[in-house]
Amino acid sequence: MSSTELIRRAQPGDEAEIVAMIEELAAFEKASEECTVTESQMRAALFADQPIAFAHVVEVDGRAAATAVWFRNFSTWDGVAGIYLEDLFVRPAFRRRGLARKLLSALAAECVASGYTRLSWAVLNWNVDAIALYDAVGGKPQTEWTTYRVSGDELSALASAAD
């Protein structure tokens, strides 16, 4: 029996499933305690008049199976926007069906249709299955760049230096 798959942009009402999958991703990444996003935050981020994030959802037989949460970035070098994929998650019961690849294709199509020049993301060094997929779709690791982040107390301290 074949299943019915639907890949679509997220719509109001999807925030509960998207948050649930983000929480599942945080658990997979062994960082559940760091995940504090709420449904109301996700609803505001995705569906405000000027959204700050976007998402795609994959349904398999009407059940939320996967999601990709992303936002626009901008290249100062070529003067064109791109997409930064913040999270891509496929629920374990739906893995090995090509859903992650299909989500990446949907985001690539979004880039091409919008005239964007890049689709970028980061991956944990130990996530060998994801790395294999990203290599297979033509992704290139940006080994000359090191990602930095300031958050928590350090962010507050840095902000106070602006006074």
CA separation for the pair 60, 116 (Å, rounded): 29
pTM here is: 0.92
Query: For residue range 46-62, what is the model confidence (pLDDT) as tens digits?
Result: 999 999 999 999 999 99
Per DSSP, helices labelled H in the chain are: 15-28, 39-47, 99-114, 128-136, 152-160
CA separation for the pair 81, 27 (Å, rounded): 31
Q: What is the CA radius of gyration of the chain?
A: 17
Residue 3: the pLDDT is 85
Could you give the maximum distance between any two Cα atoms of the chain, in Å?
Answer: 64
Q: What is the pLDDT along the chain (163 residues), one digit of tens a residue?
A: 578 999 999 999 999 999 999 999 999 999 999 999 999 999 999 999 999 999 999 999 999 999 999 999 999 999 999 999 999 999 999 999 999 999 999 999 999 999 999 999 999 999 999 999 999 999 999 989 888 889 889 999 999 998 7
Residue 163: the pLDDT is 76
Query: For residue range 12-36, what is the model confidence (pLDDT) as tens digits?
Result: 999 999 999 999 999 999 999 999 9
Q: Are strands 63-75 and 5-9 parallel, antiparallel or unpaired?
A: unpaired
* Domains delineated in the chain: 5-160 (3.40.630.30)
